[in-house]
Structure 1
Amino acid sequence: MRTGLTKQEKTTDIWFDEKDPLIYIRTHNTDLKKRLAAYAGQHPDQCRQTDADPDTGCMEFEIRKGRFSFRLTAPYNEERRRAASEAAKKHSGNLTHPIQKDVL
């Protein structure tokens, strides 16, 4: 969606306090908007869309605490990266579609 906003202006704000049982999310991120909208459709008692700005593509949601999480992941060290690469190469034969090397 073309909004006229720069990537720097397309922000995601997540705010909550210790008292309120809700988390408030305001985002331009397409993937997050889709995921929150789908979740709100499936669980309207836990999450709801509160606003949308078609001019900027921004959407706002309220979601109950405990339904939204942040996942922190440790960076791969060189050994783990190498092992993951080897495992992927070893199991590449399990792909459902053959890889065509001569296609440009």
Structure 2
Amino acid sequence: MTKLSKYEKETIINWNEGERLASIYTFNASLKRRLADFSRNYPLLCRLERSTPEGGVVYVLDKSRLSIRLVPPYSEERKAAASAYAREHGFQVLTPGKKTA
């Protein structure tokens, strides 16, 4: 087993118009975790097809469950409003396991 560079650790979404399933091949830890959770909760819609010795996984899922969200950049007005809201209401970082009153 060889160690892959970050450049080689890619995510590939295979989607074609002729099938109802899409496949996702990824090394991304966050995406792997989200896909694992989704497949546990909805085994009829998503399943782990295989994992690679290098750490990649391939999940197959119903295409109706997959979406790509494009987020435009915030306008200067929106950034200013968010900043003003944070100054007014404070900003508190919550750490796991720590509860606030």
Partner of 1:28: 27
Q: Could you tell me the TM-score, scaled by structure 1's length?
A: 0.82
1:63-98 deviation digits (Å, cap 9, x = unpaired) = 1011111111111121111111111222226x486x
Partner of 2:66: 68
Distance in structure 2 (CA, Å) of the matches to 1:91 and 1:20: 49
Most deviating of 20-29 and 78-87: 78-87
Distance in structure 2 (CA, Å) of the matches to 1:85 and 1:58: 39
1:12-52 deviation digits (Å, cap 9, x = unpaired) = 00011111000110000000000001100110000000000
Aligned residues: 93
For residue 48 of structure 1, give the secondary structure of its aligned residue in structure 2.
strand
Partner of 2:79: 81
Q: Could you tell me the TM-score, scaled by structure 2's length?
A: 0.84
Q: How does 1:1-104 map to 2 (within 5 A)?
A: 4-53=3-52, 55-92=53-90, 95=92
Question: What amino acid is the match of 1:30?
Answer: A
For residue 65 of structure 2, give the secondary structure of its aligned residue in structure 1.
coil
Q: What value does the CA root-mean-square deviation take over the aligned residues? A: 1.6
Q: Runs of 5+ in structure 1 lacking a partner?
A: 98-104
